[in-house]
Amino acid sequence: MVRVIMLSPPGAGKGTHSKWLAQRTGAEHISSGELLRAEQANGSDLGQQVAAYTARGDLVPDELIFSILVPIVVAAVRNTGGYVLDGFPRTMPQALRAAEIGVELGLTSNAVIYLSAPEEELVSRLLDRAQLEGRADDTLEVIRHRLVVFAEETAPLVDYYRGRGILLELSTDRPEADVQADLRDWLETRELIPPAAGESQAAEATG
């Protein structure tokens, strides 16, 4: 079963690709951003604390992220056998601590997918999304800041996971179906997902 971390700058498609992957595998999709937005929407004290960071495009403190996410990841593994982590870990301290907890609890990640696209493409996708979703942090100024935060805090994770031999890097500056096909093939090769039903017949039929 997949226990995968989706790693990408804002706008590169981690939400989109996490969703189909979770559907395809039955692993639970866990989006840290969505969990934080739900917390803000219910107006709790915790939600108000969170909003102070997310509105500026800054990262929420690690303690807070771990207190929200760890129980959810543990439950996901118990209920579905896997997870698709969308937006976590996002800093080296988060990655190191997540790895420790993973070893302790037997739920270590087996794949990390790094999605990338040119910066101007990311900005334009996020501005388009702002029209549709109206997220408070999808303004040009906050988007630029989130990209800087990604470069400083999150980009170092790419080398860390490459060193662990579980990294797949994919450009998403191309049709979504092509990205999906590459991701699916890589996971199938690693036997993290079974071949899709009918796929081999389709391949035979087309020769």
Closest distance between ligand ADP and the C-beta of residue 128, in Å? 13
Residue 2 or 39 having the CB closest to ligand ADP: 39
Angstrom distances, CA of residue 189 to CA of 17, 20, 93, 165, 194: 18, 18, 31, 14, 9
Separation CA 173–CA 199 (nearest Å): 26
Q: Which lies closer to ligand ADP via its Cβ, residue 53 or residue 186? A: 53
Closest approach, Cβ 206 to ligand ADP, in A, equals: 37
Give the tokens for residue 54: 């997310």
Nearer to ligand ADP, 33 or 82 (CB): 33
Which of 73, 65, 29, 30 has its CA nearest to residue 49?
A: 65
C-alpha span between 118 and 104 (Å, rounded)? 38
| Min separation Cβ 73 and ligand ADP, Å | 12
Judged by CB, which is closer to ligand ADP: 65, or 187? 65
Q: From the CB of 5, what's the least distance to ligand ADP, in Å?
A: 11
User: Among residues 3 and 146, whose Cβ is nearest to ligand ADP?
Assistant: 146
Closer to ligand ADP by CB, 125 or 192: give it: 125
Task: Find the shortest distance in angstroms from Cβ 69 to ligand ADP.
Answer: 7
- Cα separation of 196 and 193, whole Å? 8
CA 11/CA 147 separation, integer angstroms: 10
**Bond before 93 cis per omega within 30 degrees:** no
Report in angstroms how near the CB of residue 191 gets to ligand ADP at its nearest. 28
Using Cβ positions, the residue closest to ligand ADP within the complex turns out to be 33
Residues lying near ligand ADP in the complex (CB under 6 A) are found at: 10, 32-33, 36, 53-54, 57-60, 65, 87-88, 90, 94, 137, 146
Q: Is 83 left (phi over 0), alpha (psi -120 to 50) or beta?
A: beta
Neighbours of 73 (CB within 10 A): 21
Judge contact between 29 and 19, C-beta under 8 A: yes
